[in-house]
């Protein structure tokens, strides 16, 4: 099964928590805090693997979660950082943020790319000791790792794309000019998946050609198989338009050419502007009048024209040489630039933006701030210094000011993510 689209969730590892610990040693009084920092969470790394040709594996596994960093420990020992989780994808995979549609990475090169970064480890209590606070009984929790829902879209990396109506001879052509072995039969939609073939035109010269499943009228709107595979033409530097010039199936080659180009433009306006070569196939079955009429039609458009017979290999060598010549003048295969995620959106995902909501029910002030749960996990309600630290967090993020704005009075009950306390000034 050829699968070229998938949707998965990726979650980088959270950072380990900082440790609350105090140095204890014989004959050493008041050894002081020695809680170490937490380790860093594992990254999510995407890597190209040429042994993969489809995205079918992502149909069965849809969530990828990296390991969490190790918590800090006593004696100023930092927790172990988690290893990265490597996700292998076929070459040519575009990774997009499912929510915004932004391109996160184009996996066309061998360079691995980090798409979700692990959270940093929290600071141990050794960092919070001061001259006035010599026994801090709190530490910082690890920061959460980045989390995204992403879509994977495979766009084949090919220099040349063969397009045209079904049964015009595209599969036969790629089979005689390369080592590709597509299914060939005398019925429509024989080719159900894109086929890649390497065409050699010299000892050290070659290019990659893709046989795209047949297009029909309405392909740009999703009719037939065309829309499903038109994305694979988007990277092609050159389009070879294969047309059945003989009209043995009762179609007019001029009309075929016009309709297919309209469908390309409908799918992506850039495709209509892509350099083209027209290959008038099945010329051995056509009359001279049919060939010359079609040649004149294409000549008016200024497009290179070749008459070929893929079945007998007539004219195929000349066509391949012309393709190689044109490719030498064209820029390399297109790579999509990654679009960075705005810092504001990242902050919102990680809770750094300190967003919260406050509402009142039956005299209780409920504060909804999911990001604060990471801080509350290491707050000791019985320790004055720890509560002071928590109070500063509430002041700095604006929760205290918002409560006062809503009319909270001393002694009123405040509930922050399940943690209740009486408000005091």
Indicate whether 183 belongs to any domain.
Answer: yes
The verdict on 107 and 238 lying in the same domain is: no
Strand order in the sheet with 413-416: 357-361, 364-368, 413-416, 419-422
Same domain, 276 and 384: no
Q: Are residues 298 and 204 in the same domain?
A: yes
User: What is the average per-residue pLDDT within 186-212?
Assistant: 73
Tell me whether strands 419-422 and 103-107 are parallel, antiparallel or unpaired: unpaired
What are the φ and ψ backbone dihedral angles of 233, each rounded to 5 degrees?
Answer: -85, -20
CATH number for the domain spanning 91: value is 2.70.210.12
Q: Do 394 and 267 belong to one domain?
A: no
Residue 398 scores a pLDDT above 60: yes
Q: How far is it, in rounded angstroms, from Cα 372 to Cα 370?
A: 5
> How far apart, in whole angstroms, are the C-alpha atoms of residue 350 and residue 328?
47
**239-251 pLDDT, tens digit each:** 999 999 988 888 8
Residue 421: predicted pLDDT: 82
Mean local confidence (pLDDT), 257-270: 85
- Is there a domain that residue 363 lies in? yes
Find the mean pLDDT for residues 43-71.
92
Based on the fold, state whether residues 173 and 143 are members of the same structural domain.
no
386 sits in which H/E element = helix 384-396
Predicted local distance difference test score (pLDDT) of residue 190:
45
The residue-averaged pLDDT of 302-310 equals: 93
> What was the pLDDT predicted at 268?
81
DSSP, collapsed to helix, strand or coil, labels residue 332 as: coil
User: Same domain for 106 and 124?
Assistant: yes
Same domain, 225 and 178: yes
Q: How confident is the model over 171-188, as a mean pLDDT?
A: 69
CATH of the domain at 226: 3.40.50.300
Based on the fold, state whether residues 309 and 387 are members of the same structural domain: no
- Mean pLDDT of the residues in the chain: 84
pLDDT in tens, 84-123: 999 999 988 999 999 888 999 999 999 999 999 998 898 8
- What integer pLDDT is reported at residue 240 of this predicted model? 94
- Cβ pair 33, 135 in contact under 8 A: yes
**DSSP structure class, residue 79:** P
For 43, the domain range is 1-155
Comparing 15-24, 197-206, 252-261, which segment has the lowest mean pLDDT?
197-206
Mean pLDDT of 305-316: 92
Between 297 and 25, the more confident residue is: 297
DSSP string, 133-154: --S----PPPPPPPEEEEEEEE
Phi, psi for residue 61 in degrees, rounded to 5: -125, 115
- Shared domain for 178 and 94, answered yes or no, is no
Q: Is residue 288 part of a domain?
A: yes
Confidence class for position 187, pLDDT limits 50, 70, 90: very low
Distance CA 356, CA 377 (A): 18
- Tokens at 60, concatenated: 């069965």
Query: 358 in a domain, yes or no?
Result: yes
Sheet with 93-97: strands ordered across: 63-65, 5-11, 147-154, 93-97, 103-107
Residue 399 lies in a domain: yes
pLDDT tens for each residue of 152-178:
988 878 899 888 888 888 888 988 888
Are 169 and 270 in the same domain?
Answer: yes
Residue 86 CB: number of other CB atoms within 10 A?
Answer: 15
Last residue of a domain, one of 155, 181, 211: 155
Q: Is 206 helix (H, G, I), strand (E, B) or coil?
A: strand
Residue 110 counted as domain residue: yes
What's the pTM? 0.71
Asked if residue 83 and residue 179 are part of one domain, the reply reads no
Cα dihedral: 84, 89, 91, 94 (round 10): -90
- Split into its structural domains, the chain has a count of 3
Whether residue 335 is contained in a domain is answered as no
pLDDT band at 352 (very low <50, low <70, confident <90, very high): low
Give the mean pLDDT of 15-44. Answer: 88
Model confidence at 215, pLDDT cuts 50, 70, 90, reads low
* Helical packing angle, 288-299 and 253-267, nearest 10°: 40
| CA 286, chain centre distance (Å) | 47
Residue 344 lies in a domain: no
Q: What is the pLDDT of residue 224?
A: 47
Q: Of all residues in the chain, what percent carry a pLDDT higher than 90?
A: 34
Q: What is the mean pLDDT of residues 350-375?
A: 77
Q: Output the six-digit token pair for 150.
A: 């992403």
pLDDT-based confidence at residue 182 (cuts at 50, 70, 90) = low
| CATH number for the domain that contains residue 382 | 3.30.300.350
Please tell me whether residues 14 and 100 are part of one structural domain: yes
């Amino acid at each position: 099964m050829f699968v070229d689209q998938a949707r998965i969730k990726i979650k980088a590892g959270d950072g380990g928590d900082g440790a609350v610990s105090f140095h204890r040693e014989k004959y050493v009084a008041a050894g002081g805090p020695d809680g170490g920092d937490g380790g860093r969470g594992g990254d999510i790394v995407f890597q190209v693997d040429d042994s993969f040709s489809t995205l079918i594996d992502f149909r069965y596994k849809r969530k990828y979660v990296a390991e969490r960093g190790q918590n800090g420990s006593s004696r100023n020992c930092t927790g172990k950082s988690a290893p990265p989780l490597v996700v292998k994808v076929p070459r040519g995979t575009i990774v997009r943020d499912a929510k915004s549609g932004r391109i996160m990475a184009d996996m066309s090169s061998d360079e691995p790319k980090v798409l979700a970064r692990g959270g940093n480890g929290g600071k141990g209590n050794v960092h919070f000791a001061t001259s006035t606070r010599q026994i801090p009984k709190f530490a910082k929790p690890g920061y959460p790792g980045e989390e995204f829902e992403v879509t994977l879209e495979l766009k084949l990396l090919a220099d040349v794309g063969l397009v045209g109506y079904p049964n015009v001879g595209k599969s036969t052509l790629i089979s005689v000019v390369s080592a590709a072995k597509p299914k060939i039969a005398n019925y429509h939609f024989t080719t159900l998946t894109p086929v890649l073939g390497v065409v050699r035109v010299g000892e050290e010269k070659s290019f990659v050609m893709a046989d795209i499943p047949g297009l029909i009228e309405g392909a740009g709107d999703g009719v037939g198989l065309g829309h499903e595979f038109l994305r694979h033409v988007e990277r092609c530097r050159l389009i070879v338009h294969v047309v059945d010039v003989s009209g043995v199936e009762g179609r007019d080659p001029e009309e075929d050419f016009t309709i297919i180009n309209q469908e390309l433009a409908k799918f992506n306006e850039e495709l209509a502007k892509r350099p083209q070569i027209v290959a008038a196939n099945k010329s051995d079955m056509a009359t001279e009048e049919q060939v010359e009429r079609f040649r004149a039609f294409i000549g008016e458009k200024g497009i290179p024209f070749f008459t070929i017979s893929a079945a007998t290999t007539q004219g195929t060598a000349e066509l391949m040489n012309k393709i190689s010549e044109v490719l030498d003048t064209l820029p390399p295969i297109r790579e999509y630039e990654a679009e960075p995620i705005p810092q504001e959106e990242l902050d919102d995902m990680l809770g750094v933006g300190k967003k919260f909501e406050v509402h009142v029910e039956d005299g209780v002030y409920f504060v909804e701030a999911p990001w604060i749960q990471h801080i509350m996990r290491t707050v000791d309600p019985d320790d004055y210094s720890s509560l002071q630290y928590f109070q500063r967090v509430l002041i700095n993020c604006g929760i205290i000011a918002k409560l006062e704005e809503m009319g909270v009075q001393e002694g009123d009950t405040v509930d922050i993510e399940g943690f209740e306390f009486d408000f005091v000034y």
